[in-house]
Amino acid sequence: MHLSPDLWVWVGALLTLFVFSFLFGDNPFYKFAEHLYVGVSVGYMIAIYYWNFFKPDLIEPLFGRGELILIVPLILGLCYLAIFIQKFSWVVRIPMGFVLGWGSGIAIPAVLQANVIKQIQGSLITSQTLAHWNTFVWSIVVLIGVITTVIYFFFSREQKGSLKVVANIGIIYIMIGFGASFGYTVMARISLLLGRLQFLLRDWLGVIH
């Protein structure tokens, strides 16, 4: 065992144990770690926002180099603060309208292209997928999955007869998808635990390498 001489490793280890103590119920140690985490995160974000954005992209060009066009985004940004004054809270609609309009304008075509058109193209059987039996079989599996799953979400007609059979095949695909997601989620949560255990056993206690 080689205990770490680093003070910050000890701080991290104790805070980790404080958080783990929640497994046995809420307690002041957990509360302390939780509040400290929130405070440190916000403080860190404010520092990064200032040094990476406000100073180089607003303060220096506007007040140092006289780029007056930056007054426009500055005023739009300040409008958000109007939400704290009840009488002028309507002003916040101006920057929100700008952001929503701009955001929708760039998001709609991009998302349609990436998530609909390209995905439909990816589901099609092409000469490339026919080139090898392996890709051909999987293309058929994907195509059946896409069609049956979409039909499961077709609610304009009662699902009975052949429509129900197809929709039930869609359910099987959906359940396999849920199962894969659950398996991956279990792995993710265990990974987080393992990361902390590696920190405690290796970096703090020095009992593993």
Partner 1 sequence: MKIGEILGKIDRRIVFGFMAIVVIVPFFFPLNVTGKVAPPSQQLFDAVEEIQPDSKPLLISIDFDPQSMPELYPMLKAILRHAFSRNVRVCMMALWVTGVGLGEAALNEVAPEYGKVHGKDYVYLGWKPGFAAVVLGMGKSIPETFPTDQYGTPLESIPMMRGVKNFRDIPYAISISAGDPGALTLWIPYVQSRFGQKLGTGMTAVSAADAYPYLQSGQLTGLLGGMKGAAEYEHLVAEAGYSEASKPATQAMDSQSMAHLAIILLIVLGNIGFILTKGRK
Task: Decide: 204 and 15 in contact? Cβ < 8 Å.
Answer: no
Per CB under 8 A, which of residues 34..53 are in contact with partner 1?
41, 44-45, 48-49, 52-53
List, in order, residues 6 or more apart from 142 with CB less than 8 Å away.
Answer: 122, 123
Task: Decide: 146 and 123 in contact? Cβ < 8 Å.
Answer: yes
Q: How many residues bind partner 1 (CB under 8 A)?
A: 46
Does the footprint of partner 1 cover residue 206 (CB under 8 A)?
Answer: no
Per CB under 8 A, which of residues 176..205 are in contact with partner 1?
177, 180-181, 184-188, 190-198, 201
- Sketch the per residue contact string, 70 through 99, with partner 1: x for CB under 8 A, - otherwise: ------------------------------
Nearer to partner 1, 71 or 106 (CB): 106
Pick from 201, 209, 199: nearest CA to 8: 199
* Smallest gap from residue 93 Cβ to partner 1 (A): 21
Does the footprint of partner 1 cover residue 126 (CB under 8 A)?
Answer: no
Does the footprint of partner 1 cover residue 110 (CB under 8 A)?
Answer: yes
Pick from 45, 37, 43: nearest CA to 11: 37
Whole-angstrom distance, CA of residue 118 vs CA of residue 157: 28
DSSP per-residue letters across 12-48: HHHHHHHHHGGGG---HHHHHHHHHHHHHHHHHHHHH
Residues at the interface with partner 1 (CB under 8 A): 23-24, 41, 44-45, 48-49, 52-53, 56-57, 103, 106-107, 110-111, 113-115, 118-119, 121-123, 142, 177, 180-181, 184-188, 190-198, 201, 207-209
